[in-house]
Structure 1
Amino acid sequence: MMRRWNPWLVTAVLASLVMLAPVVALAFSALQGSAGLWEHLWANVLPVALRNTVMLLLGVGVLVTVLGTGSAWLVTAYRFPGQRLLSWALLLPLAVPTYIAAYAYLDVLHPLGPVQGLIRELLGYSSPREFRLPDIRHLAGCIVLLGFVLYPYVYLTTRALFMTQAAGLLEAARTLGATPAQLFRQVALPLARPAIAVGVALALLEALNDIGASEFLGVQTLTVAIYTTWVSRGDLPGAAQIALAMLLLVAVLLMLEKHGRRRQRYASTLRPRPMQPQTLRGARAALAFALGALPVLVGFVVPAAYLAWEAMQRVRDAGVSPQLLGALQNTLGIALAATAVVMVVGLAVAWALRLAQVRRGGRLASACSRITSLGYAIPGTVLAIGLLVPMGALDAVFAELRSVIDGGRAQMLLMGSTIALVVAYSLRFLAISVGGIEAGLARVPQSLDQAAANLGESAGGMLRRVHLPLLRPAFAAAALLVFVDTMKELPATLVLRPMNFETLATWLYAEAARGTYEEGAVAALLIVLSGLLPVILLARAGAAHGVRS
C-alpha cells in the first residue's frame, strides 16, 4: 500500500502554495494603497486602459475566430493545389511573438519604409508629404496585427475537431441537399463551438499578456498601465490595484469560455473518420489557396522576411555586437535554468496525481494539479508584480538571518537577481510541463503501476524504471515548449530582470524604443527561429494525426 503522504505530494502542495503567493500578495499590496490613490487610478488610468483592453479583446476575438475557423474548414473540407502546404504553414505565425510582429511592421509600413516607398513610386509621388498611408499606431492596427499572429490557436483546436468529426453526419447533410455554406453553418460550426471557445480563450489570454505590441503601437492597455505605474512611477500599490482589475478580467474570460461550451456534448457510436474533402479546380482552387495563404503572408512571411533581410544587412555591415552576444548567452542560460526547474516540479506534480489515481482517490493531488496550472492564465506582468512582495519579504528574512549569524551587511538575494526571473518563468509555464507530462502518463495503463507495486517497487523506482522511459517523447516536447516560451517572455522579464541584464526580448524592446531597428532585427530573428521548433513539432503531430484518422 502506497503512503498517503509522500514526497511527491509534498512537492505538489509546496508548488501550489508558491503559485498562490503572488495572487495573495497582490491583494495585500493593493490594500496598502490609499483610497485617494484608487480614486486617482479610477479617474485617470483605469477608464482608458480598461476601455482599450476590452475593445482590443473584442476585436482580436472576432478576428481570430474568423481567420482560425475559416482556415481550418478550408484545408479540411476542400482539396486543391497547395492545400497540404497550407495545412501546416497556417501554424507558422505561432513562431512570431506579438511584439516582434509589431516591431517588424512599424518599420515595413513606416512612411519612409519599403511598402509606402513602392506605392509612391508606382503612383508618381516623390515624398511622404505628397502621399502616405494611415499610421498603424492605433487600436485598430493593434487588433489587426494581434489577430493575424494569434489566429493559429483557434486554427489548431478547430481543425483537430473538424478532422475527427464523424463523416456520416456531414455526408447525411449533403444527401439531404445541404449546400457547402449550409453544411458549414448548420452542422460543422455548431459541433466546433467548444474547440473554437478554447482556441479563442487561449488567443485572448496571449493578447492580454502582450506588452510590447501594445506599447509600440501606442495603445494604453491594462498591461502597459501596470508596467508604467511600477517602473516609471515606482508605485507598487497602484500597480497591484491595476493588476487585480486585470485578474478579474482574466477570470471573466475563463468563465465565458466555460459558459460558451457548457451544454456542448457530442457522442457517436460510429468510429470517427475524416470527411471526404471536395475537390476544387481552376479559379475556385486559386481563390481557396489565396484565402488560405493570406494569414500566413501577413502573420509570418512579411515579418520573417523583413527580419532576415535586416539581420543580414546588419551582420554584413557591422557584424554582431558583443552586447547582443551577451544577451543571447543570458537568454539561453536563464531559459535552460527555468526549463530544468519547471520540468522537475511538473514531473513531481503529475506523478503525485498519478499515484493518487492508482489509489482511486486523491482530491488534494488533483487540486494541486489545477492550482499549478493557473500560471499560464496569469499575464506575465501581473505575475511579476505579485512576486515583488513575497520576494522582498524573503530577502528581509535572509538579511536578518545573515546579520544574526555572521553580522554581515544586508544584501538582496532574490530581488534584482536571476533567481527572481527563474521563479517567475517557472510559475508562468508550469502548466505546460504538468499538462504535457499528465498527457504522457495517461497513455500508460495503470495495470503497469499495480504490477510494479505488487512486485515491491517503490513510487520513485516505478517512476524511474517504468514510466520515465515511456515518457521521453512527452517530456522532451514539453521541455522544448517551456524553453522556447521562456526565451520569448517579455513582460515578466521587464519587471524582474537585474540591472544591466539583457535578454534577446528586452534587447529588442530597448532597440525598438530607441528606433534603432537594424540592431534589434538580429535579436528578433533569433527569437523567431527558436519559435519555429515547436511549430515544426505541432505540424508533424498534426500530419501524423491526419494520417491515423
Structure 2
Amino acid sequence: MRASTYSPLLIIGIAVALLAGLPVASVGLNLFAGGTSETWSHLSHTVLPEYIANSLWLCLGVGLGVGVVGVATAWLTAMHDFPGRRFFEWALVLPLAVPAYVMAYVYTDFLQFVGPVQSTLRDLFGWEFGDYWFPDIRTLPGAMAMFVCVLYPYVYLLARAAFLERASGMLEAARTLGMGPWRAFFMVSLPLARPAIVAGIALALMETLADYGTVAYFAVNTFTTGIYRAWFSLGDRIAAAQLAAMLLGFVLFLLMAERISRGRARYHNTTGRNRPMAGAQLRGIKGVAATFACAMPLFLGFVLPALLLLKMALTDGDAQFGERFLILSRNSFLLAGTTACIGVLLALLLAYGARLSQTSFSAGLNRLVGLGYAVPGAVIAVGVLIPVTRLDHWLSGQWETWFGHNPGLLLTGGIAALVYAYLVRFLAVALHTVESSLAKITPSMDDAARSLGLGQGETLRRVHTPLLRGSLLTAGLLVFVDVMKELPATLVMRPFNFDTLATQAYTLASDERLAEASTASLAIVLVGLLPLVLLSRQISASRRR
C-alpha cells in the first residue's frame, strides 16, 4: 500500500524533520554571525583549551572504563554459568536509572571529609586533619568514575546481545581449530562484537558530552559548562552558539569515527548455527571471581547510591518536602507527560507514514528526526532559544503595532519552547521503539484492511494501534523518564520560578545541601526504574535454559 505523493503523513514528516533540524541549523548559522566577539576571543585565549582538554580526557577515560566493564560483564553473563548469573543478567542494567549528576551528589556526600567514610577512618585510627591523604572525588578522574558507573550498561546490553547472537557456530568452529577460551574470545568473539561494543561506547560518550550537572558540580570545565556560562554569566549568545557548534562537532566525530575505523572490514556471521551455547561452568575460585566482577559494578552503580539516597531522604531530606515537593513533582510530571504524549503521537505518524510510502525519502526524514538524540541538551537549548527568541520579539512588535501594548515574550516565557526542545532531543527514542514494533506487523494485514474498505487512517486506528499498544506505552515511558532526568536544557530554558525535580536537586547540591537534594534525586531514580523493570524482564526472558 503506497501513499500518494502529497500524503498528509508525508507533509507531517517533512514539517517534523524541519522543526527537529532547526536547532542544529540555528547553531550552525550563528557560528560566524557578527564575526569574532570579544567574549569568544577571551574564551579562546583563556578557558577554551581547558574545555577541549577536559572533554577529550573525559571521552578517553569513560570510553575505556565502560568498554572494559561492559564487555567483561556481558561476556560473563552471556557465555558462562556461575552463582548469581540469572540475577546479574538483568540487574546489571539498573545503574541506568541513576542520572550521573545524582551519582555525583551521592558519592560526594559519602566520601567528603565529614562524610561517613573519612569519619570512620579517623575514629578507627585516631587521625586528625592533615594526618592522611584521601582522594578527592570532585576532580576529573572522579567525574570519569561517575560516568563509568552509570553508563557501562550501554556497552553491556549491546555487547551481550552480540555475544549471544554469535555464540554457537563461530566459537565451536574456533575450538575445533584448537583455540582455547581466551584466544577464541580475543580472536573471534571480540572482533565479531566490535560494532556493537563501539556503538555502546559511542552512546556512553554522547551522554558524557551532553552532561552538565556532574561536570558543573565537580568544577570540571567542559563545553556544556562553557555554553551555560557564556549564555547566562556573559550574556553572549554568539559565543554560546560557537561553543555549542564545537560540542556538536565532537558528537558528529564520535558518530563517524567507528564507521571510518572499520574501513572495508565486515562482521557477518557466516554460519547458520545461532543457538546460544551452553554456558561454561565456573565453580570454586573462578565462580567467586565471576560473581564479584558482576557484583561490583552493580553495587557501585546502583545498590550503594540507592541505599545512601534512601537513608539521606529519610533522615535529613528536603525540609520543603510537603507542598514545595508536590509542586516540583507536578512541574516535572507536566513536562514529561506532555512531551511523552506528543512524542508518541508524532512517532506513530512518522513511522506509519514511512511504512505507507516505502521510499528512501520518508526513511531519510525519519533518520533526520532520529539524529536529535545525538545532540546534547545544551546545544539544543541554544539552538531553540535563538530562533524562538527572535520570533518572540517579532510577535511582540506586531502585537504592539496592532493592539497598542507589548505583551512581552509569549513563547520563551512559557513551557512551549521547553517541550519543543525535549521533543527535538527525545523524539528519536519513541520513533525507534515504534518503528521496530511496526516492522513486525506483516504487510498482509494492511492489504486485508484495504480489501475490507478501510482507509489509511482507519487502518492505523483500528488495526495497527491496538497491536502497537504495548510498544506505544513503552515508547511513552522511555520519553517520560528521559525528560524527568534532563538537566541542561531544563536549566537553560525553564520559565521563571518554574523548577523541576532535576533543577531542585542541582540547585540544592550546588549550595552544598546534599542531604536535602536527596529527596528530589531519589524521586528521579524511582521514576527511572520503571522502564528498566520492563527492560530487565525482557533480558531475563531472552535466554532460558
**Structures share a fold, TM > 0.5?**
yes
CA distance in structure 2 between the partners assigned to 1:2 and 1:83 by the alignment: 49
Which residue is 1:196 aligned to?
197
Count of residues in correspondence between the two structures: 542
Structure 2: distance between partners of 1:134 and 1:474 = 45
Secondary structure of residue in 2 paired with 1:390 = helix
Instruction: State the SS of the aligned residue for 2:4.
Output: coil
Q: Is the 8 A contact 1:166 1:272 kept in 2?
A: yes
Amino acid at match of 1:458: G
Distance 1:248 1:483 in 2: 28
What is the rounded CA distance, in whole Å, between the counterparts of 1:166 and 1:240 in structure 2? 47
**Residue of structure 2 in register with 1:459 after alignment:** 456
Out of 102, 105, 120, the position equivalent to 1:103 is: 105
Measure how far apart 1:255 and its partner are. Answer: 0.2
TM alignment of 1:86-97, pairs within 5 A? 86-97=88-99
**Mean alpha-carbon deviation: is it higher for 207-216 or for 1-10?**
1-10
CA contact (8 A) 2:370 2:428 kept: yes
How is 1:484-503 mapped onto 2 (pairs within 5 angstroms)? 484-503=481-500
Q: CA deviation at 1:132?
A: 4.3
Q: Distance in 2 between matches of 1:103 and 1:387?
A: 29
Greater CA drift, 489-498 or 130-139: 130-139
Q: Is the 8 A contact 1:307 1:522 kept in 2?
A: yes
* Residue type of the alignment partner of 1:520: A
Structure 1 equivalent of residue 35 of structure 2 = 34
Question: How does the TM-score come out when normalised to structure 2?
Answer: 0.96
- Do structure 1's residue 430 and structure 2's residue 432 form an aligned pair? no
Q: Is the 8 A contact 1:194 1:260 kept in 2?
A: no
SS at structure 1 position matched to 2:351: helix
Superposed CA offset, 1:207-234 (max 9, x none): 0111111111121011111111111111
Higher mean C-alpha deviation, range 31-40 or range 298-307: 31-40
Cα distance, 1:450–1:17 mapped onto 2, change above 3 Å: same
Q: Percentage identity across aligned positions?
A: 42
Partner of 2:298: 296
Structure 2 counterpart SS, 1:31: coil
For 2:508, the equivalent position in structure 1 comes to 511
Distance 2:491 2:54 in 1: 22
Q: CA shift at 1:404, angstroms?
A: 4.4
Say if 2:339 and 2:419, in contact at 8 Å, map to a contact too. Answer: yes
- Alpha-carbon distance in 2 for matches of 1:178, 1:7: 58
Deviations 1:90-123 (A, max 9, x none): 111101100000011110000110111222333x
Q: How far is the alpha carbon of 1:130 from its aligned partner?
A: 2.4
| Contact 2:95 2:151 (8 Å CA) reproduced | yes
Alignment-derived partner of residue 178 in structure 1: 179
Whether 1:10 and 2:11 are equivalent positions in the alignment is yes
SS at match of 2:244: helix
Corresponding residue for 1:477? 474
Q: Quick check: 2:3–2:357 contact (8 Å CA) kept in 1?
A: no
Shift of 1:363: 2.8
Equivalent-residue separation in structure 1 for 2:349 and 2:431 (angstroms): 9
- 2:235 is aligned to 234
CA contact under 8 A between 2:95 and 2:302: conserved in structure 1? Answer: yes
Output the CA distance in 1 between the equivalents of 2:538 and 2:347.
Answer: 22
Cα offset, 1:125, TM superposition? 2.2
The structural deviation recorded for 1:259 is 2.5
Map Cα deviations across residues 150-173 of structure 1 (whole Å, 9 max, x no partner): 100000000011111141221232
2:122 aligns with one of 117, 120, 123: 120
Bigger CA drift: 341-350 or 23-32?
23-32
Aligned to 2:353: 352
Equivalent residue for 1:413?
410
**Alignment-derived partner of residue 55 in structure 1:** 57
Match of 2:147 in 1: 146
Moved more, 253-262 or 474-483: 253-262
Query: d(CA) in 2 for partners of 1:374 and 1:411?
Result: 33
Matched letter for residue 488 of structure 1? K
Q: Is the 8 A contact 1:148 1:298 kept in 2?
A: yes
Please give the alpha-carbon distance, in whole angstroms, between the structure 2 residues aligned to 1:342 and 1:239. Answer: 28
* Residues 1:441 and 2:438 are matched in the alignment: yes
Please tell me the residue identity of whatever aligns with 1:309. K
Corresponding position of 2:333 = 332
Query: What's the secondary structure of 2:408's corresponding residue?
Result: coil
Structure 1 CA distance for aligned equivalents of residues 319 and 144 of structure 2 = 35
Could you tell me whether the CA contact under 8 Å between 1:197 and 1:261 is conserved in 2? Answer: no
In the alignment, residue 119 of structure 1 is paired with which amino acid?
L
Q: Which has the higher mean CA deviation after the structures are superposed, 523-532 or 127-136?
A: 127-136
Paired with 2:404 and 2:258, the residues of 1 have a C-alpha distance of 55
Deviates more, 1:139-148 or 1:303-312: 139-148
What amino acid does structure 1 have at the position aligned with 2:305? Answer: P
Question: What letter matches 1:77 in structure 2?
Answer: M
- 2:216 aligns with 215
TM-fit CA distance, 1:490: 0.2
Q: Match of 2:193, SS? A: helix
The AA in structure 2 aligned to 1:28 is L
Alpha carbons of structure 1 residues 171 and 100: separation in structure 2 relative to 1, 3 Å: same
* Superposition TM-score, scaled by structure 1 size: 0.95
2:438 partner letter: L
Moved more, 2-11 or 333-342: 2-11
Residue deviations 1:329-349 (CA, integer Å, cap 9, x gap)? 110111111111111111111
* Matched-pair contact (CA < 8 Å) for 1:400–1:410: no
Match of 1:25 in 2: 26
Q: Which runs of 5+ in 2 are unaligned?
A: none
Structure 2 distance, partners of 1:260, 1:192, is 15
Q: Could you give the per-residue CA deviations for residues 235-294 of structure 1, whole angstroms, max 9, x where no partner exists?
A: 110000000111111110000132344523313352411021111111221111011111
Alpha-carbon distance in 2 for matches of 1:53, 1:152? 21
Give the 3-state SS of the residue equivalent to 1:58 in structure 2: helix
2:315 match: secondary structure: helix
Query: Which residue of the partner structure matches residue 313 of structure 1?
Result: 315
Shift of residue 405, structure 1, vs aligned partner: 4.2
The verdict on how the C-alpha distance between 1:425 and 1:319 changes in structure 2, with shifts beyond 3 A counting, is: closer
User: Which residue of the partner structure matches residue 80 of structure 2?
Assistant: 78
Q: Write the letter of the residue equivalent to 1:251.
A: L
Query: Contact between 1:399 and 1:410, CA under 8 Å: does it hold in 2?
Result: yes
Q: Does the aligned pair in 1 maintain the 2:86–2:540 contact within 8 Å?
A: no
> Separation in 1 of the partners of 2:355 and 2:289?
50
What do the CA deviations read for 1:490-533 (whole angstroms, capped 9, x no partner)?
01001001111110000000001100112110100000011111
The answer to whether the 8 Å contact 2:169/2:273 transfers is no
Q: Match for residue 168 of structure 1? A: 169
Cα pair distance change 1:437/1:74, threshold 3 Å: same
Cα deviations by residue, 1:15-65 (Å, 9 ceiling, x for unpaired): 111111112211233323432534333212321101100110011001110
Q: Confirm or deny: 8 A CA contact 1:112 1:128 kept in the other structure.
A: no
More displaced, 101-110 or 447-456?
447-456
C-alpha contact (below 8 Å) 2:485/2:524 kept by paired residues: yes
Segment drifting more, 302-311 vs 401-410: 401-410
* Partner residue, 1:381: 378
